[in-house]
């Protein structure tokens, strides 16, 4: 069974049958013009452990991977080359190809609670039992 996608631009969610290379390019143009804040391309099942790829303003590209233990790694890549970003999106959508990650930065820690916050939340939950 082939992978199905959804494309979310914040103001609209496109279903798999509506997604084309032209639509992806048009949505990317909207991000470039600040008409939308982001673009998220999400498969219905992980592609090589990746859950989604997203573009945020002038062009921060992010991809998240999740392992069997449900831990995640979140990478970010910044470029001003719209054609490069378009190729990354098209490859992910059309041939389920993960981008070359050698110049990407692991930003996972920016999404995870620090140790003291986790401890506090755990103790707070313990007192509610």
Q: What is the pLDDT of residue 76?
A: 95
Q: Is the dihedral angle over the CA atoms 99, 5, 10, 25 positive or is it negative?
A: positive
98 vs 69: which has the higher pLDDT: 98
Top-confidence residue, 84 or 126: 84
Cα distances (angstroms) measured from residue 77 to each of 4, 83, 84: 25, 14, 11
| Percentage of the residues of the chain whose pLDDT score is greater than 70 | 84
Pairing between strand 5-8 and 13-14?
Answer: antiparallel
Q: Is the pLDDT of residue 126 over 90?
A: no
Query: Domain boundaries in the chain?
Result: 5-127
pTM of the model: 0.82
């Amino acid at each position: 069974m082939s992978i199905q996608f959804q494309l979310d631009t914040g103001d609209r969610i496109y279903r798999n049958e509506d997604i084309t290379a032209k639509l992806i390019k048009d949505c990317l143009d909207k991000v470039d013009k600040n008409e939308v804040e982001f673009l998220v391309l999400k498969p219905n099942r992980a592609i090589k452990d990746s859950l989604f790829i997203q573009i945020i303003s002038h062009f921060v590209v992010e991809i998240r991977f999740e392992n069997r233990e449900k831990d995640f790694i979140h990478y970010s890549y910044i470029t001003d080359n719209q054609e490069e970003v378009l190729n990354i999106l098209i490859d992910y959508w059309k041939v389920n190809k993960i981008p070359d990650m050698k110049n990407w930065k692991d930003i996972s820690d920016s999404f995870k609670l620090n140790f003291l916050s986790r401890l506090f939340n755990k103790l707070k939950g313990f007192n509610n039992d």
